[in-house]
Structure 1
């Protein structure tokens, strides 16, 4: 199936500007029809979904570009791609640990205020 840039924008919730930026950066390479209009296919759609997933877990665009370049080099880069993803997973895990610790402190502070409010109410 062929998707225009507008339809791909609608499907992925990425702006047309972002799709053009990704093309300029070499992250995606839409084909061109006989009128030289770009179009995307299912493979492009799945790849854009993966790029969005990498962005959602905080991978910098520079690392996404590195992954994309390796992907274009073919199967011989599987080990390098695996290492890049494992490295980012380590960063993500570390960030999650930090978030959980900070969440715990926030929950403790909320509990403190709830106890103090209840205590002050009982004094009145």
Structure 2
């Protein structure tokens, strides 16, 4: 199982524990899915990797390509702030949804430029949402075809 598959499994497990979801998710539900424990002191790469269920290799890669800035402590070790961890939560969710790295890099560069870029960021997210919705429709069609074939062979469909 890849790191992305493991992260998706954990996210889906957390989602399935929220009984009140019936239809589209509210902003409150989304906030609950992304809640983090209070981060009062900087975290190490190992701590962030465990907290977010992301490999240390991926964390260092995200830093190397400019998706997150992580200062070093006096000993030269990465020291992740609460803001860096929140950004990594967003990045990991976008990667799970299939957002390309180059789009994430562009998005992050816009965030770093400030509030004047909000309209462009919104456009990017709306476009990404449309892509996700199309993927869901395509997967639904694929699931229906698979269920049909299972039934053809005498299997039980869900």
TM-score (norm 1): 0.85
Q: How does 1:1-124 map to 2 (within 5 A)?
A: 1-114=41-154
CA distance in 1, matches of 2:54, 2:143: 31
CA distance in 2, matches of 1:34, 1:114: 65
Structure with greater contact order relative to length (CA < 8 Å, sep ≥ 6): 1
CA distance in 2, matches of 1:14, 1:101: 31
* Secondary structure, aligned partner of 1:106: helix
Unaligned runs of 5+ in 1: 116-124
Corresponding residue pairs, total: 115
* Secondary structure, aligned partner of 1:38: coil
Q: Which has the higher strand share?
A: 1
Unaligned runs of 5+ in 2: 1-40
* Secondary structure, aligned partner of 1:114: coil
Q: Which has the higher helix share?
A: 1
CA distance in 2, matches of 1:46, 1:20: 16
* Secondary structure, aligned partner of 1:67: helix
CA distance in 2, matches of 1:107, 1:34: 58
TM-score (norm 2): 0.68
Q: Who wins on radius of gyration, i.e. which is larger?
A: 1
- After superposing on structure 2, the runs of 4+ consecutive aligned residues of structure 1 that deviate more than 3 Å are none
